Structure 1
Amino acid sequence: MELRTLRYFVAVAEDLHFGRAAARLHMSQPPLSRAIKQLEADVGAALFHRSASGVTLTPAGVVLLEQARALLDQADRARVRVAAVTGATTLTVGILGDGTDPGATRLAAAYRRQHPDIEIRVRETGLTDPTCGLRTGRVDIALTRAPFDETGLTVQELRVDPVGAVLRADDPLARRGRLELADLADRSWFQFPDGTDPVWQSYWNGGEPREGPVVRAVQECLQAVLWNGTVGMAPLGHSPPGELAVIPVMDMAPSRVVAAWNQGDANPLIQSFARTATAAYRTSCAWPRA
C-alpha cells in the first residue's frame, strides 16, 4: 500500500463522498475511484458500502482508517524530523480574522503536541488580503476564508460556515429570524480598499456592486455598522457587542474556512501542517447552523 493511496482512502473515509474527496484532493473522481478499488483488491476486502445515497465504511474500512491515519502521521513526523535536521525548523502561518476559532485552537494544540521542536510564527492580517501574505512571501501557509483568486495556490477546505448580516440591534430587520439578500438591497455595505481581490470583495457584498464606507479590519466593520447602520457580513456564531445582531442570510453562499499555500511548495512542514489542520477542523464546528 502506497502512502498516496492511503491518503486517498482517508479522504473518502472522512468525507464519505467520492466527489467531495476528489475536490479536496484536487483530482477528478474517476482516478480516485480506481485507486480505491485497487486498494480494496490489495487488502482483499471491501472498504466501503456504496449506494445511491453515498458511501459508508465497512468493518474492514473502519480498521484500515485507524491504521492509515497512524501510518500517515508517522510519515509526516518523519518528513518533519528530516526537515529539522536540514535546518527547516520554523513555519510562518498567516491567520485572517478571529483567532478564537475552536478549529484553530485545536490545530495549535495538536501541532504543538506532534512537533514540539518546530517554531510556529503567526502573522495576523486584516481583511484586505485574504491570502494573508502568501503571494508576497510573508507567510508559508494561511488559515483564511474563501473565495478569493486561487491562481498559483493550493487551497484545502477545512470547514464551511453559514453567514449572517451584522445589523444594529435596533434595526427593524434585526427582529427577523432570517433574511434574504433582497432585504438588504437598498442598504449601504462596507467596501474594501482599491486593489483588494475582486472575488473576495464580491463575495462579502453578496455578489452585487455596492456602495459604502471603506474598512480594513473586523473592528472597523463593526464600527461602521454601529455608527452608520452599514450592512456587514459575518460567519454565524460570532458574538458581536450587545448593540449589534447577526441575522442568518438564507441565500448567501456559506463561507469556506481553508488552508492555502503556494503551489509546488514541497516544504514538509507545510504538508504536515495542512494534514493536521484537516483533522483539527474536521472535529470542530465553530458556528451553530441556522
Structure 2
Amino acid sequence: MELRTLRYFVAVADELHFGRAAARLHMSQPPLSRAIKQLENEVGAALFDRSPSGVSLTPVGAVLLGEARALLDQADRLRVRVAAAAGTAAITVGFLGDSADPAAARLADAYRRRHPQVEVRIRETDLTDPTCGLHAGLVDVALTRGPFDETGLTVRELRADPVGALVRADDPLAGRDSVKLAELADRRWFLFPEGTDPAWQSYWNGGAPREGPVVRAVQECRQAVLWNGTVGMTLLNHPQADGLAVVPLIDMPPSRAVVAWKEGDTNPLIRSFVRLAIAAYRDGAFAST
C-alpha cells in the first residue's frame, strides 16, 4: 500500500467525485480510477459506493480514510523533522498587505504548534500582485484572494466574504441599506497600476472599465476615497477609518479568500499549511484584506 495511492484515495474521499479529485491531483481520471480499484483489491473490499447520483464512502472506506490521513500526516512530519535536523526546514508565505483576518492569526498559532522548528519567512505584498510572488517564484505558498491568473498554480478556496461599496461617510449612498453596481456607473473608482492581473483588476472594479486615481495599497484606497470622493469595493466587514462607510453591494459576487501554491509542489510543509489554513478559516467567519 503506497503513500501515493493513499493520497489519491484521500483526494477522492475529500471531493467525493473522481473528476474533481483527478483535477486536484493534476492527473487524468482513468489512472486515478485504476489506482483506487487496485487499492480496493488490496484491501479486499469496496471503498466507495458508486452510483449515478454520486460517490460516497463505504464503512470500510471511512475506516481507511481516518487511518490514511494519520499515516500521511506522520509521513509528512517525518520529512519535516529530517529537514529540520539538516537545517533546511523553511517555508516562505506570501500575504496581501494590511491583512487583519483573525483566521490568519489562528493559522499562525496552529502552524507554529505543529512545526516549532520550521522557519516561516513572510513576504507581504501590495494589491498589484494577488499571487503574492507565487508566479515569480518568490514564495512557496500564498494566503490571498481571487480571482487571478491560476496558470501553473493550485488554488483552494477557504471562504467567501461579501463585499460592499466604499464611500465617504457623507456620500449620499452612505445611509443606504444596499446598492447595485449600476448605481455606481458614473462614479470614479480607484484603479490598480497598469500591468496588474486583469482578472483581479476587473473584480475590484465591479467588472467594468473605470476611471480614477491609481493606488497600490489598502491604505491608499481609503485615502483616495477620503480625499477624492471616489468609490471602490472592500470587504463588507472590513473595519473602516473615520469618515468612511461601506454599503452592501447586492449584485456583486463575494470575494474568495484562497490559499495557493505551485502546481505539483509536494513539499510537506506546504501540504500542512494548506490543511491548517482550511481548518483555521472554517472556524471563523470574519476576514479582511
TM-score normalized by the length of structure 2: 0.82
Moved more, 233-242 or 88-97: 233-242
Task: Return the alpha-carbon distance in structure 1 between the equivalents of residues 144 and 255 of structure 2.
Answer: 10
Cα distance, 1:126 vs. partner? 1.0
Distance in 2 separating the partners of 1:48 and 1:160: 31
Q: Which residue of 2 aligns with 1:97?
A: 97
Q: CA deviation at 1:19?
A: 6.2
After superposition, the Cα gap between the structure-2 partners of 1:42 and 1:264, relative to the gap in structure 1 and judged at 3 Å, is closer
C-alpha distance 194-6 of structure 1, shift in aligned 2 (>3 A)? same
Q: Label 1:287 to 1:129 Cα distance change in 2 as closer, same or farther (>3 A).
A: closer
Matches within 5 A, 1:1-290: 1-11=1-11, 13-14=13-14, 24-26=24-26, 43=43, 44=45, 52=53, 62-287=62-287
Shift of 1:208: 1.1
Q: Which runs of 5+ in 2 are unaligned?
A: none
- Between stretches 201-210 and 29-38, larger displacement belongs to 29-38
* Residues 118, 36 of structure 1: alpha-carbon distance in 2 compared, 3 angstrom cutoff: same
What amino acid does structure 2 have at the position aligned with 1:209? P
Q: Is the 8 A contact 1:24 1:157 kept in 2?
A: no
What is the count of residue pairs matched by the alignment? 287
Q: Tell me the secondary structure at the aligned position of residue 173 of structure 1.
A: coil
Residue 215 of structure 2 aligns to which amino acid in structure 1? V
Contact 1:24 1:156 survives alignment (8 Å): no
- Looking at structure 2, the residues matched to 252 and 29 of structure 1 have their Cα atoms a distance apart, in angstroms, of 34
Amino acid at match of 1:248: P
In the alignment, residue 275 of structure 1 is paired with which amino acid? R
8 A Cα contact 2:161 2:257, kept in partner: yes
SS in 2 for 1:172: coil
Query: Which amino acid in structure 2 is aligned with residue 258 of structure 1?
Result: V
Among the aligned pairs, what percent are the same residue? 71
Select between 31-40 and 198-207 the one with higher mean Cα deviation: 31-40
Deviations 1:161-198 (A, max 9, x none): 23222222332323333322212111111101122222
Cα 1:232/1:15, change in 2 over 3 Å: farther
Q: Which amino acid aligns with 1:257?
A: A
What do residues 116-135 of structure 1 show as CA deviations (whole Å, max 9, x unaligned)? 10011112111111121233
Give, in angstroms, the shift of residue 141 of structure 1: 1.9
Cα gap change, 1:36 to 1:161, in 2 (>3 Å): farther
Partner letter of residue 235 of structure 2?
Answer: P
- Secondary structure class of the residue paired with 2:199: helix
* CA deviation after TM superposition for structure 1 residue 23, in Å: 5.2
Q: CA deviation at 1:79?
A: 1.9
* C-alpha distance in 2 between matches for 1:37 and 1:177: 55
Q: Which moved more, 1:161-170 or 1:259-268?
A: 259-268
User: CA contact under 8 A between 1:132 and 1:142: conserved in structure 2?
Assistant: yes
Q: Deviation per CA, 1:262-286: give whole Å up to 9, x if none.
A: 3344444333323332333333333
CA RMSD of aligned residues (A): 3.1
Task: Measure, in 2, the Cα distance between the counterparts of 1:175 and 1:41.
Answer: 64
- SS at 1:174's partner residue? coil
Q: Name the SS of the counterpart of 2:183 in structure 1.
A: helix
Structure 1 counterpart SS, 2:94: strand
TM-score between the two structures when normalised by the length of structure 1: 0.82
Write the distance in 1 (CA, Å) between the matches of 2:51 and 2:275: 26
Moved more, 158-167 or 126-135: 158-167
Which has the higher mean CA deviation after the structures are superposed, 60-69 or 224-233? Answer: 60-69
Three-state SS of the structure 2 residue aligned to 1:175 is coil
